[in-house]
Every structure is written in C-alpha cells, then in structure tokens.
Amino acid sequence: MRCAPNPNGPWHVGHARMPAVIGTYRERYDGWFCVRFDDTDPETKRPDLEAYDAILDDLDYLGFEPDATYKASDRLETYYDHARDLIEMGGAYTCSCSGEAFSELKNSGEACPHRDKESETVLEEFEAMIDGEYSSGEMVLRVKTDIEHKNPALRDWVAFRMIDTPHPREEASEYRCWPMLDFQSGVDDHLIEVTHIIRGIDLQDSAKRQQFVYDYFGWDYPEVIHWGHVQLDDYDVKMSTSTISELIENGELDGWDDPRAPTLKSLRRRGIRGEAIVEAMTGLGTSTTDVDLAMSSVYANNRDLIDDETDRRFFVRDGNQIPLAGEPPAEAAPPLHPNHEDRGVREIPVGDSVMLEVADIPDAEEDGDRRIWLKGFGCFRFDDGVLRYTDDDIDAVREGGVDVVHWVPADESVPVRMRTIEGDVRGHAEPGVGDLEPDEMVQFERVGFARIDRHETESDDGDGDEETVAYYAHP
RNA sequence: GCUCCGAUGGUGUAGUCCGGCCAAUCAUAUUGCCCUCUCACGGCAAUGACCUGGGUUCGAAUCCCAGUCGGAGCACCA
C-alpha cells in the first residue's frame, strides 16, 4: 500500500488517517507500505521543501516507519518513458487546444483536430515538450480514452502539461514538462506494485481514468477503496493545511505546534501519543461518507495509555489567595498517584495562606457548614474570608457534605501558563512542578492532563521570575 | 446541466454481499449509582439508531423501485 502525500506542509490531524489505517493493515496482514511524495506540481501546489521531512517526522510520531520512500519528482524519466510507449500505441496525443476550447468540445462529446495525429508527430511534439520548447499552456499530452464516454470527467484527460516555474527541489528544477496526478500515480502504483489503494472520494474518478492507461499497457488495476472526509469537533481552526499556514503567517497561531491548531505537531506537544490517534483513526473505518472524529475518543485512548503512569499535581487556575487560621500542620503530603502509594508523596510546605479556584471557595450566602477539605492536607471552615483549621478527620468527607478541593500554597507556588485549545490559562502549581523535566506528563487533579513544556525566566522585568509553561492535553 | 457515490443512537462502528439467529454489536459521549481525600482510574446501570414511501417475501437494516437529504467529479490541482 502507499501513502501519497502532497508535501505542502506538516500534517494536520486528518492526514493521520492514511498511515494509521495502512500501517495497521501492514501489521495485521504482514503487508508493505511506502510513502510516495506526489510532488508533480511546482506551481499551484508548490511543494514546501521542509514538508518532506516534517511529514516523515509526523509519521514517526504516529509510530510508523515506511518500508520505502519515493519522490515523484525523482521519477520524471520513468513517466516520460511510459508516455512514449503510450504514444507509440496510439494511446495519447499532443494537443494545443486551450483549456476552455477543449472543455467545450469535450462536453459535447466531440474530438479535437489533434486527436488523429500520426504517432510520429505526437512523439516529436512530446519530445519538444520534454525539452521545454513550449511554455505553460501551449501544449499538453492527452490520453486517448473515449471522447463520447457518458461521464464527461473521463474524456481524453491531460497526462502531461508544461509548467514554467522550476520545481523547488534542485534535483528536479530543470524539468518543465510535468505529469498530472492521474498519469503519474497510475504508472507508479503499478511499478511500485501497489496492490491496494485507499484514497479520498475526491479521487473517485481516478481509477476509471487510469483504467484506460492500464488497459493500453495490459496491467491489472489495484483494489481501490474511497473514503470520505474527516472533520474534527473541538477546534475553531479549520483543518486545512493552507488555512493553518495562513494563520501562522499572519501571526494568529504561533506555529504548527500551537495548541489551537488541529495538527499532529500540536497534539504531540500536548503530550498525546501517536498511538491514541492511530486507534481513533482506525476506528473510523473506511466508509465513503464524511465522518466526524470526536476528539474525545482520541482523549479517551490517550487517557487509557497514560493515566496509570502519570503522577498527580495541584494546579489552581486564576486562584484567590485565602489566609489560613487555626493550627494546621506545616506540610501536606498527598500521594503522587492514588493507585500507586509506593511512588511516594509530594511534600508541600503550606505557609500561612493558600490559593483556591474561585469556584471552589465556599459560598458565604449559602447555609452550608462551609467546610472544605484541602486535598492531602486537612479540613477547614471558611469564615470571614479566612480558612480555619477544624482538625476534623477524613470521616468528615466520607460522611458527605464536605467537598474535596485542590489548592496550592500562596507563597511557594510556581506560576504556570497552561496553553489550551481555547487559549492560555494562567495559574499556580504546587512547588514540585518547577522541578519537573520538560516533556514530563502530569495530571493536574480535577483539571486534567498536561505536558510540561519548559520553564521560562521572564526577562522583561528582569526580576528573574520563573514561569512554567504546560500544554493541556485533555480531562 | 452531465456523471458517480452514500444514508444504522450525539459521534464512530458491527451487521447489508449470501433476508430469519437483529425488539440491532462494540466503543465513545451523556446521566445516575458504587469505589475514592480528583470532575482520573475501576465497577454497575440508564438514555439513545436502521432517511422516507412503495414493492418482493411467511419474514426486510439486509433484495428491488422511487423520492428526500448529503457528498464528490466534469482542471493544463493534488
């Protein structure tokens, strides 16, 4: 099987579907798959030189290594050779009709005057195309199909055209005569011995077009499956390479790994494993209808993968500082993981005030007993803006009525900027978070999973304040 | 306009080829309960779907026809 990307940028989440499915099939059926960059349009779909490696990198993130990698722009001579053979068989002709003129003839099922040229003439003109003697739009090579075919989309389609703009790859920059996808891909699929093709419904007619070439050469066409488009919920940004690219260009996104971008680089930075994406993608199947991928299913898969090994921490978003009263212990010691006491505890020095999330502060208007349990620490009653230690034991929680909340010490907490799909959230995390290694995953209790990205020193005011940057993964 | 394709709960999917074992599977989501010093993990339960109308048949999610809705192609893009 093959994955045939157009190297015009790093992959968005939807691109993961192809490698996810064919990679999984490869494992299941002891198959083979390659990546073939179909980079045969140096102009309107101009390849981005960095995208080749970016895509292979994304593939690696998903957990796959292709058995082979090709670039169509390395294989022009092969396509030329096959075109020559086709011409000799009378299966193609050079045509200098304008696009509009041909389109009109085609739609009325009429052949153009170039169709009946001698193959010697065609060959000569095609060699001239290869030599770059025409400029863009002057001459094309058409495959002779059936000019009266009931589906107008299949009538005498273009196989090669002239492009004046040089290909960005130096190795291919001298070529001016470029094959169209249907010719290039059709020939390659046979030569590379692809047995099964999966492609989008936008290419539904490709197999039928290419069948004409296969018939001329006497080849058997691979099995084809067409699938619909994938959409993601949860994102404001449209899943389209060009849209994302524009947003990055004009500064609305920080880059391909901005958490607000629906890209693989972004998911990776948020600490979501490639495997979680692959599972969600294979679960979509291969139906021809358009499908909506719920990000929650990616998250559920990821949670399954990381929950057990991810330690717990406290992180208070937009906290309010509240003084403590009474005689609470000087230190709290909640476990790193509730299901793994052997991993030990986090020792959190408390000080004389804490920060709580606004939503967790007991409402003075209500008639409750206004007690809350600071998780891993103890029970307090909220009164007159002060949390007074009650010395109740945990039975107070078990009996009900006392909520357990997360908190951080006001003095020794670590400022955190957490980047999410919806934008940045600021707050404070417990002291130990400042010492975590970048790339480590944490679960901020009652908030969600996040990946520690880096520890920054704010240089603006020069006071050396540290800020930890985390990327939010999911609940 | 011409030509293709498709339609199962909020989402995805199994079942459709070869009609009965389907008052429809599994996952996710949502809700509730249990567990729990997390709104995590785990356990239990509930909610919720065969596009519509005809036809064939003892019997239709499954076969046929029509309609509706949705998608795609008719590029010198991929």
* A28 CA → B8 C1’, Å: 27
Torsion on CA atoms A250, A254, A255, A258, rounded to nearest 10? -130
Per DSSP bridges, beta strands A348-349 and A331-332 are antiparallel
pLDDT above 70 (res A463): no
Number of Cβ within 10 Å of residue A320's Cβ equals: 14
Which run of H or E residues covers position A371?
strand A371-374
Mean pLDDT of A185-208: 94
Report the distance separating Cα A81 and Cα A217, nearest Å.
Answer: 13
Q: Which nucleotide C1' is nearest A308 CA?
A: B41
* A283 CA → B60 C1’, Å: 28
Nucleotides of B under 7 A from a protein CB: 1-8, 10-14, 27-30, 36-42, 70-78
pLDDT of residue A458: 67
- Span A356-401, pLDDT tens digits: 999 999 876 665 678 999 999 999 999 888 999 998 889 989 888 8
Residues 6+ apart with CB under 8 A from A391: A326, A378, A379
* A244 CA → B70 C1’, Å: 27
Which run of H or E residues covers position A119?
helix A119-130
Give the three-class secondary structure for A293. Answer: strand
Q: Which nucleotide C1' is nearest A284 CA?
A: B12
Asked if A2 contacts A257 with a C-beta cutoff of 8 angstroms, the reply is: no
Exposed / middle / buried, residue A368 (Cβ in 10 Å: 0-12, 13-18, 19+): middle
Protein residue nearest nucleotide B75, by CA to C1': A99
Exposed / middle / buried, residue A285 (Cβ in 10 Å: 0-12, 13-18, 19+): exposed
Q: Which nucleotide C1' is nearest A38 CA?
A: B78
Mean pLDDT of A312-324: 95
Q: Which nucleotide C1' is nearest A206 CA?
A: B73
pLDDT above 60 (res A460): no
Mean pLDDT of A462-473: 83
Asked if A94 contacts A125 with a C-beta cutoff of 8 angstroms, the reply is: yes
Protein residue nearest nucleotide B14, by CA to C1': A285
Asked if A199 contacts A229 with a C-beta cutoff of 8 angstroms, the reply is: no
* A33 CA → B35 C1’, Å: 46
* A298 CA → B31 C1’, Å: 22
Residues 6+ apart with CB under 8 A from A379: A371, A372, A373, A389, A390, A391, A392, A393, A396, A397, A402
* A25 CA → B19 C1’, Å: 32
Asked if A22 contacts A63 with a C-beta cutoff of 8 angstroms, the reply is: no
pLDDT above 90 (res A39): yes
Three-state SS string across A92-116, please?
EEEECCCHHHHHHHHHCCCCCHHHH
Q: Which nucleotide C1' is nearest A158 CA?
A: B76
Report the distance separating Cα A90 and Cα A61, nearest Å.
Answer: 47
Report the distance separating Cα A188 and Cα A158, nearest Å.
Answer: 17
Share of chain A above pLDDT 90, in %: 87
Which run of H or E residues covers position A183?
helix A181-191
Neighbouring C-alpha atoms within 13 Å toward the C-beta of A394: 3
Q: Which nucleotide C1' is nearest A154 CA?
A: B74
Protein residue nearest nucleotide B74, by CA to C1': A153
> Quick one: DSSP state of residue A394?
T
pLDDT above 90 (res A424): yes
* A289 CA → B61 C1’, Å: 18
* A283 CA → B28 C1’, Å: 11
* A294 CA → B28 C1’, Å: 8
pLDDT of residue A464: 59
Mean pLDDT of A462-467: 69
Q: Which nucleotide C1' is nearest A405 CA?
A: B38
Q: How far is CA A345 from CA A123, A315, A413, in A?
A: 79, 16, 17
Q: What is the mean pLDDT of chain A?
A: 93
ipTM: 0.93
pLDDT of residue A197: 95
